[in-house]
Amino acid sequence: METIIYFVRHAESIYVEGEERTRGLSIQGTNDAETIKETLKSEEIDLFISSPYGRAIDTIRPTALLHQKDILIEEDLRERMIGDFAPATFTEAKKRVYEECQFAFPNGESSILAQQRASNVIERIVDAHKGKKIVIGTHGDIMTLMLNNFDKRFGYNFWLSTSMPDIYKAGFKGSELIEVIRMWKHQ
């Protein structure tokens, strides 16, 4: 019995200092959330789960409403905090934490710790909802780390290749990841 997880990376959100958890979607992001709804409307989704961040919830909300489902919030699906990485650039900092998985910048979280907390949630979801179709409202970095837990090909270069939003359909047999297909990418 195959369990399907649709990892939906959140749509565009305007960065506002200090509003990491609460900021919503931009106009483009809101429009893209509607496109995600259209993309997933025939998928017969059983369950919606999201990061606690507003932009992740707002990205999957139209699809959840279409399927007449509530969105369950999982705190441990929150985005990884990169921390204080100056003078490095954001992408330099991301590359470093992927290459040195135990390393964390001050006030940040290492790849290994972020991966463990989020992957524990995914493993629990897959175990509890065998044979179901589940949408996960997520973020690029934590999504990459969750997929990397099952397949090491998902790393820094994968993270770099993702868009906002993005949809990856992952198939699980038991706790084994058997397939990942990109269903949609923002152009």
Going by pLDDT thresholds of 50, 70 and 90, the confidence category of residue 1 is confident
Q: At residue 16, does pLDDT exceed 90? A: no
Backbone dihedral angles phi then psi of residue 57, each to the nearest 5 degrees = -65, -50
State CA 7 to chain mean position distance: 6
Pair of tokens at residue 40: 């997933």
Q: At residue 32, does pLDDT exceed 80? A: yes
Q: At residue 42, does pLDDT exceed 90? A: yes
Q: Domain with 47 in it: what CATH number?
A: 3.40.50.1240
Domain count, the chain: 1
Could you list the residue range(s) of the whole structural domain that residue 48 is in? 2-185
Element (H, E) at 47: strand 47-50
**Non-local CB neighbours of 33 within 8 Å, separated by 6+ positions:** 11, 25, 58, 59, 60, 61, 62, 63, 165
What CA–CA distance (Å, rounded) separates 141 from 127?
23
Q: At residue 21, does pLDDT exceed 80? A: yes
Q: By percentage, how much of the chain surpasses pLDDT 90?
A: 93
Side-by-side strand order, sheet with 133-138 = 71-73, 47-50, 133-138, 2-9, 166-173, 176-185
Query: What is residue 51's DSSP assignment?
Result: -
Average pLDDT over residues 78-101: 95
